[in-house]
A and B are shown apart, each in its own frame.
Chain A
Amino acid sequence: MTVEFRSLPRKTWQTFASIKTGVVLLILVVIFSAAGTIVLQRPITEPDDMQSAYSAQALRILDATGLTDVFHASWFIALMFLVSISIIAASIERFPNAWRYFSRPYKYAEEGFRRSLHPQKQVTIADEESGLVAAERALHSFGLRPERVVREDHFSIFAERSRISEMGVYIVHASLLLIFCGGIVDGIWGWRGSLNLNEGETSSAVEMRNGAAKALPFSIRCDSTGQENYKDGSPKKWWSKLAVVQDGRDVQKKEIVVNDPLVYAGVRFYQSSFGSNGKVDQLLLEATPVTGSGEKREIAFALNDTAPLDADTTVRFAEFIPDFAVRDGQVYRRSNQLGNPAALLVVSAKSSGQTFNVWLPPMNGVGDNAKAPFQFEPKDLKLGHFTGLQVSHEPGQWAVWGGVLLMGVGLTFVFYVVHVRFWAVPVRDPKTGKFALWIGGSANRNRDAFEQRFNDLVAKVETELKSIHKTSSSEQVETAAGR
């Protein structure tokens, strides 16, 4: 019984570590995230659109299962969590072996290993030393650093390159976990919202995705904002001059554009939209008296301002409608988008106590345009603008970028760095008693290209052997002559 108890966690662990579990989990992630792109998702899609797309019952089911907000559903997060565990378990399960392999390289080729290794070759040599020297020189010429491995009765040669490649897979898996960690940190502590600022306005309240308001520990002011257009009228650039205000002081100023946010205290402000706020900044008019010889005069005023027309008469800018419609003698506001603007001016004569409502543009059956003592002609209209900012706080993003870089490194090791090993062992044929140099090589990937390299190495060893043989035989001749 105790054995079973002890083995249950172990079994669970091994289940997680198995590649089968990993693949099943990956397939689940694929299926559910694909579902999340096909089913309309909640925060992005308007509730009305959701209702028109699905029947009430279908929508209830989708909502209950979380399919309308897959990527924030608890079961999806749980699934990602399981994937993480699976990656960790698989890595830990396999890591000790790989680490042993990495930290204690296999330097001496045992007999059994020699028998099964491919590629390998034997080159006849005169004696052990000349074979070893030839192998060393050949390996040197290949840019490797061969070392002599000492055994009880003989030496052998070992050389390798890029052992780190064996760790590539673990680096990639670790980087993936790092990215997940960043994502989790952002999921818990990060937030996103938006903030619309009129020119000159200061605010510290960010509207969150769910409609709640979040107060920032500092406030942000929009000094000015604008749009530049291409010749064809499509927007080229949106910009806003922002200032961060803390304790009544401007601590940071920046002109932001799309793709270039302002960052303060870990909070980022992005330019996301720009528009007219439907409010008028300044209206420029030309006023002409209907009777008498009074002169034309230009008036510039903002909403609710009053300007004198002559000694007796004043005009007030009473109302501005960015997009108007007339029905039954009434003027309505159709939308807040600047489309079809109208202004209401109230002209008051002090002496008679009369007031006249003047609409610009004049409308049939509305207002007292005809009776008013002055005629007005609009010259220019300056509108107020707002800048639409996206605000986000993502404390985990540095883990994500770190993970991405690490993954780049890991993938390079996995795919493009080859761990190459060569062994050279002098052996004596038990029957003939002749010496031979056994040469073997291994590469952890791209084996066909490696085989060519191996053959080149063997050829190099052979030429080295010949040159050693030549010099040593000429030395022998010399010594013989010297005697």
Chain B
Amino acid sequence: MARAKAAQQQPAATGMTLIVLVGLAIAFLLFMAFLNVVKSGSLLNETNLLYAALIFYAGAGALYLGFGVTGTESYVKFASLATWLGLLANTGAVAHRWYESGHPPFASVYEMLLSFVWTLAALTLIAEKKYGVKVIGTVTMPVAIVGVVLMQLLRTDVHPLVPALQSTWLHVHVTLAMLAYAACALSFALAMMFLIQDKMKTETFLAVTSAFTAAIYLGTLTRFEKWGGLNLVAWNAEEKSEVFLSKGVRLFVTIPDLGWLMLLALIVVTSPLAFFAISRWKKDESFLAMANRAVFVSILVQVLALVMFLTDARGGLYRSLDAEGQFSTSLAASPFILSGLVGGIFMSLLYLLLLWRREDLERLLPDADNLDRITYKTISIAFPLLTLMIAAGAYWANQTWGSYWSWDPKETWAAITWLVYAGYLHMRVTRGWRGRRAAYFAILGFGVVMFTFFGVTYLLPGLHAYA
């Protein structure tokens, strides 16, 4: 990513520079990884494969981003090559996992992410080759990278299947879910591109980016503790699980001063929105320039916040307000905050890309009508998959729990997702909703999907505890 940014500052550089840089970076990382492999003695284990996938996806992401910035066609070739290699390594990791555990990798959040990233990379290649949406990797690859990084933090030991999961329907249900969710992710990316192609004002993206990142930090600050601390869930490294005070009540540790930093970050990421509001109110364009500068500053502060969060969460023992003694925490205990922080930085970077290279982007993307149509097509694939996923889940639930529908939170949210997309289809077909409104709907739908996938698992209790 840093290299891609370096390239952004000097777009005049020849096309080869970035490729060479990314190639060197990949080679360097692979070499470092190889040293590690020699030390550990086994080449093809899951960790190494996943690491290789991460390296290739990162390289592909950088190249796609470079393509987005400079429009150099040759980047795409190398980017899809890197994606192919990443997919290959990812396939290896999936196969290894499958072989080791004796069941397809769908049984835990970690395994689901493994399959999700695989599907996403495969769909990226399909979208690129079949529909010619070359920039899609700019969005999907960073998502894949975040996915792989998250996986490193989640528990990886192979768990045998608990009795309820020993069913063919598990595989049917989860495969369908992965396909459906990946298709939803794709429709989301396409809808975003549509908005760019549809001449939506750059300021609007600015406001949304600022509001989104502000929401992330606001959410993080719900854990703010008196005198500038930040509460994080305590983590038991030996058992690889959160520490519970009693059933369902987690133990929190307070990291001193991190709360202040998050508060500062909140103020900084909100400032572009404030400048935007002022420019609207005073009808003065010069405030927009300040807003854009504020985004740049906010990225620096966000990176600082992320680094501090990473170092604080990884090392050290902290006091807790609820129990005596000192406890450690881990990144795995706060997957939401971590993905939020990374997501915020990613979103801000994407905004800068849009700000600086809008014209090139518009030239590279398919035209708005086409994007609108492809979005609809993707959803018309996602919707039947969602339906089948719910049906398979209901059938399986009927076999296991004795009821096809129990209004469990996961079930209910799957139904809500289904309804949102059903709403999209109805509005499109009967009301002729095209373009922006349809794109907003597609974006909303993906938001609900993400909540169903992650939010329900971590926030709402229920039967569906495995993932």
Write the residues of chain A forming the contact surface with B, with a CB cutoff of 8 angstroms: 19, 22-23, 26-27, 29-30, 33-34, 36-38, 41, 49, 70-71, 183, 192, 230, 232, 234-238, 257-261, 268, 270-272, 390-392, 394, 397, 400-401, 404, 407-408, 411-412, 415, 448
A258 touches B164 (CB 8 A): yes
| CA A38 to CA B451, docked complex, whole Å | 13
30 contacts between A and B (CB under 8 A): A19-B426, A26-B423, A30-B416, A30-B420, A33-B407, A33-B415, A36-B412, A37-B460, A38-B460, A41-B407, A70-B407, A71-B407, A235-B162, A236-B160, A257-B163, A258-B164, A258-B400, A259-B164, A259-B396, A259-B399, A259-B400, A261-B399, A272-B401, A390-B401, A390-B402, A392-B403, A394-B398, A394-B404, A408-B384, A415-B381
Please choose the segment from B30-38, B133-141, B386-394 that sits at the chain A interface, where 4 or more of its residues have CB less than 8 A away. Answer: B386-394
Flag B411-440 by CB within 8 Å of A: 1 or 0 each. Answer: 011011001101100110011000000000
Nearest B residue to A396 via CB reads: B404
Q: Which residues of A contact B260 (CB under 8 A)?
A: none
Contact, CB under 8 Å: B402 / A407: no
Are A192 and B426 in contact, CB atoms less than 8 angstroms apart? no
The list of the 7 closest CB pairs from A to B, nearest first, reads: A37-B409, A258-B163, A71-B407, A392-B402, A230-B160, A390-B402, A270-B402
Grouping DSSP codes into helix (H, G, I), strand (E, B) and loop, the A interface class, with mixed when no group exceeds half, is helix
Q: Is the CB of A448 within 8 A of B426?
A: no
B423 contact set on A, CB distance < 8 A? 23, 26-27
With the chains together, A179 CA to B235 CA distance in Å?
44
Residues of A within 8 A of B159 (CB): 234
Q: Give Cα A29–Cα B407 distance, bound, in whole angstroms.
A: 13
A66 vs chain B, min Cβ distance (A): 13
Chain B residues close to A by CB (< 8 Å): 159-164, 166-167, 248, 373, 380-381, 383-384, 387-388, 391, 394-396, 398-405, 407, 409, 412-413, 415-416, 419-420, 422-423, 426-427, 430-431, 456, 460, 462
Give the number of residue pairs across the A-B interface with Cβ within 8 Å. Answer: 105
Docked CA distance A230–B103 (Å): 14
A257: chain B residues at CB < 8 Å are 163
Contacts of A259 in B (CB 8 A): 163-164, 166-167, 396, 399-400
Is the beta-carbon distance between B400 and A183 smaller than 8 angstroms? no
Residues of A within 8 A of B394 (CB): 400, 404
Q: Which of B166, B415, B422 interacts with A258 by CB under 8 Å?
A: B166
Give chain A residues whose Cβ lies under 8 Å from the Cβ of B407. 33, 36, 41, 70-71
Residues of A within 8 A of B388 (CB): 408
Task: Please measure, in the bound complex, the distance between the C-alpha atom of A230 and the C-alpha atom of B373, giving whole angstroms.
Answer: 51
Residues from chain B with a CB closer than 8 A to the CB of A36 are: 407, 412
Return chain B residues, CB-CB under 8 Å to A27: 423
Task: Give every chain A residue within 8 A of B460 (Cβ-Cβ).
Answer: 37-38
CA distance A29 to B401 in the complex (A): 25
The smallest C-beta distance from B418 to any residue of chain A, in angstroms, reads 10
Chain B: CB-nearest residue to A41:
B407
Say how far B457's CB is from chain A's closest CB, in angstroms: 12
Set of chain A residues within 8 Å of B420, measured between Cβ atoms: 30
Residues of B within 8 A of A404 (CB): 391, 394-395
CA distance A272 to B406 in the complex (A): 15
Q: CA separation between A180 and B162, bound complex, in Å?
A: 32
Is A270's CB under 8 angstroms from B412's CB? Answer: no
Question: From residue B192, how far is it (CB to closest CB) to chain A in Å?
Answer: 22
Which B residues touch A30, using CB under 8 A?
416, 419-420
User: Which residue of A is nearest B396, CB measured?
Assistant: A259
Main secondary structure of the interface of B (DSSP, over half): helix
| CB within 8 Å for A391 and B402 given contacts A236-B160, A257-B163, A404-B394 | yes
Contacts of A19 in B (CB 8 A): 426-427, 430-431
User: Given A19-B431, A235-B162, A415-B383, are A397 and B415 neighbors across the interface (CB < 8 Å)?
Assistant: no
What is the CB-to-nearest-CB distance from B448 to chain A, in angstroms, rounded to a whole number?
9
Complex alpha-carbon distance, A407 and B462, angstroms:
28
Given contacts A33-B416, A236-B160, A257-B163, 15 further A-B contacts (CB under 8 A): A19-B426, A23-B427, A29-B419, A34-B412, A34-B416, A37-B409, A37-B413, A260-B399, A270-B400, A272-B401, A392-B402, A394-B403, A400-B394, A407-B387, A408-B387
> Cβ of A22: which chain B residues have Cβ within 8 Å of it?
426
Contacts of A183 in B (CB 8 A): 405
Q: Which of A33, A38, A235 has the largest number of chain B CB atoms within 10 A?
A: A33
Give chain A residues whose Cβ lies under 8 Å from the Cβ of B427: 19, 23
Contact between chains at A37 and B426 (CB < 8 Å): no
Complex Cα–Cα for A34 and B405 (A) = 15
Q: Which A residues lie within 8 Å of B164 (CB)? A: 258-259
* A401 x B395 contact (CB < 8 A): yes
With both chains docked as a complex, state the minimum distance between the C-beta of B269 and any C-beta of chain A, in angstroms. 27
A397, B400: Cβ atoms under 8 Å?
no
Q: Contact check, B404 vs A411: say whether CB atoms are below 8 A apart.
A: no
Residues of B within 8 A of A37 (CB): 409, 412-413, 456, 460, 462
The one of A29, A41, A70, A236 that contacts B163, using a Cβ cutoff of 8 Å:
A236
Chain A residues whose C-beta falls within 8 Å of the C-beta of B422 in the assembled complex: 26
Q: Is the CB of A411 within 8 A of B399?
A: no
Are B412 and A400 in contact (CB-based, < 8 A)?
no
Instruction: Choose one: B162, B384, B391, B399; the contact of A412 (CB below 8 Å).
Output: B384
Contact A415 B384 (CB under 8 A): yes
Inter-chain CA distance A71–B167, complex, in Å, is 28
Smallest Cβ-Cβ distance to B416: which chain A residue: A30
Indicate which residue in A23, A29, A268, A412 contacts B426 across the interface (CB closer than 8 Å). Answer: A23
Q: Is the CB of A268 within 8 A of B402?
A: yes
| Pair B400/A411 contact, Cβ less than 8 Å | no
Minimum CB–CB distance for B130 against chain A, Å: 13
Q: Which of A33, A234, A390 contacts B162 (CB 8 A)?
A: A234
Q: Measured between alpha carbons, how far is A260 from B164 in the docked complex, in Å?
A: 10
CA distance A38 to B459 in the complex (A): 9
Q: Which residues of B contact A261 (CB under 8 A)?
A: 399, 402
CA gap between A257 and B423 in the complex, in Å: 40
Closest residue of chain B to A237 (Cβ to Cβ) is B163
Nearest opposing residue in chain A for B410, CB measure: A37
For residue A415, which residue of chain B has the nearest CB? B380
**Complex CA distance for A235 and B163, rounded to whole angstroms:** 7
Contact residues in A for B413 (Cβ distance below 8 Å): 34, 37
Q: Who on chain B is nearest to A273 by CB?
A: B163
User: CB distance B162 to A192 under 8 Å?
Assistant: no
Cβ distance B182 to chain A, nearest Cβ, rounded Å: 17
- Expressed in whole angstroms, the minimum distance between the Cβ of B414 and any Cβ of chain A is 11
Q: Which residue from chain B places its CB closest to the CB of A447 in the assembled complex?
A: B373
| A238: B residues at CB distance < 8 A | 163
Q: How far is the CA of A150 from the CA of B258 in the complex (A)?
A: 83
Complex Cα distance, B431 from A41, in Å, reads 37
Residue of A nearest to B384 (CB): A411
Considering the complex, give the chain A residue whose CB is closest to the CB of B249. A52
User: Which of A34, A37, A41, A192 has the most chain B CB within a 10 Å cutoff?
Assistant: A37
What CA separation (Å) do A254 and B31 show in the bound complex? Answer: 59
A234 contact set on B, CB distance < 8 A: 159-160, 162
The smallest beta-carbon distance between B76 and chain A, in angstroms, is 24
CB proximity of A54 to chain B, nearest CB, Å: 15
Bound together, the chains give a CA A400 to CA B420 distance in angstroms of 21
State the CA gap A258–B169 with chains docked (Å): 13
- Residues of B contacting A192 in the complex (Cβ-Cβ under 8 angstroms): 402-403
Check A411–B426 contact: CB distance below 8 A: no
Distance in angstroms from B156 CB to nearest chain A CB is: 15
Across-interface contacts of B402 in A (CB, < 8 A) = 192, 261, 268, 270, 272, 390-392
**Which residues of B are found within 8 Å of A230, using beta-carbon distances?**
160
CB distance from B104 to the nearest CB of A (A): 16
For A235, give the chain B residue with the smallest CB separation.
B163
Cβ contacts under 8 Å, A49 to chain B: 248
| Residue in B167, B381, B401 with the greatest tally of chain A CB atoms within 10 Å | B401
